[in-house]
Amino acid sequence: MPINKSMNYTGIVKIKYFTFASKNNPFKLECGKTLNQVTLAYEIYGNAKNIDKTILIQHALSGDAHAGGRYSPEDKKPGWWDAMIGPGKTFDTDKYYIICINVIGGCQGSTGPGSINPDTGKPYGSSFPLLTIRDMVNAQVELINHLGVDKILTVVGGSMGGMLTLRWAADYPDRVISAIPIATASKHSAMPIAFYEVGRQAIITDPNWNGGNYYEKETPAMGLAIARMIAHITYLSDESMHNKFARRLQDSSKNYQFSFETEFQIESYLHYQGTAFVSRFDANSYLIITKAMDYFDLSYGYKNLAETFSEVKSKFLVVSFSSDWHYPPKESKEIVTALRMNDVDVTYSEINSSHGHDAFLIEFKKLGSLLSGFLNNLEKEISDV
């Protein structure tokens, strides 16, 4: 349906592309390999006149650069954080210059396993190197420099986006004025590593995966769908699943069928999530990105997490959700403790929610109010200096 212009909305947006690196000046990765050409897909909301108030929004594992707006007046689905972006909203497009970038390794316009390798003219497939969260951030730095952004007012993101946010603040302390990591952790514990490994095995053992070289053949759709189903369970909570599905059957007029056909509503929901994910995501990208998340450990190479933040200059707002068992509040509190050990200005908030890890994509009113207050206070502090 057409956009209702009487309401605040981000508006019509257009995806943009930036390409850098070459054989003579390749992009170096932490694994020791290089990429001779890197393209980043990104979107911008707001006006460049506010470039001194740049907000960099980071997406989660299954997200992309399309955080706000629509691609046409008839576009039925806005960006994944559209409720937060627009005139008068938390990320006010009348006040801020807002950027969202699809990470390298992804499959929504940025260079990833499904991209054409300029050296061969064929998709990278299995030859695409393994990445880290730092690699993703370093690639973003190239685009930020290209756009002429010197300092970033706020880097913000949930889940993997929170990891990217933490890495920005730790690695580029002179460029990040404030950071808002949401529903995230400074490193993966054994539990998410375990769940993601089961998902990766579902893809790798799919006969159509073909060692990662399936782009001219049938894709490993079943493996990717199962991987998504497994991961999606961790994004919910017991309470949210009970409230939405409980033990209800698809057809309440029938008794148990004593078969392996889909009978329960929760089964149907998970199958839908898996099928929908396959239509928009690449299996190799899923492997690359989940592995990068598993490798992520902000304190790696340091004595402890506190030492990691020793050079940080950003003001922090750390947000968690009470029912998140993917990245439980205790992991956010570890970040807060480490920041306070360095006398970093940090505010912590645990939002009461039954929506589990996905709360950062659902609790727009609570989260929006919290972030708006933080940003307003931040601007006031800057103006008073």
Query: What amino acid positions are annotated as catalytic residues?
Result: 159, 324, 357
Within 8 A by CB and 6+ apart from 130, the residues are 31, 288, 291, 292, 295
Nearest to 323 by CA among 366, 273, 275: 366
Alpha-carbon distance of 201 to 224, in angstroms, equals 10
Give residues with Cβ within 8 angstroms of 277, minimum separation 6.
62, 224, 225, 228
Is residue 203 helix, strand or coil? Answer: helix
* C-alpha closest to that of 148 among 30, 11, 49, 288: 49
Q: Please tell me the distance from the alpha carbon of residue 229 to that of residue 5, in angstroms, as a whole number.
A: 37
From 96, 87, 84, 102, select the one nearest 55 (Cα to Cα): 96
Q: Is 67 helix (H, G, I), strand (E, B) or coil?
A: coil
For residue 148, give the DSSP letter.
T
DSSP H or E segment with residue 333: helix 329-340
Question: Angle, nearest 10°, between helix axes 221-235 and 283-295?
Answer: 40
Strand partners, 178: 154, 315
Sheet holding 16-20, edge to edge: 16-20, 38-45, 97-101, 54-58, 152-158, 176-182, 315-321, 346-351
Rounded-to-integer distance, Cα 242 and Cα 87, Å: 36
Residue 121 region, left (φ>0) first, then alpha (ψ -120 to 50), else beta? left
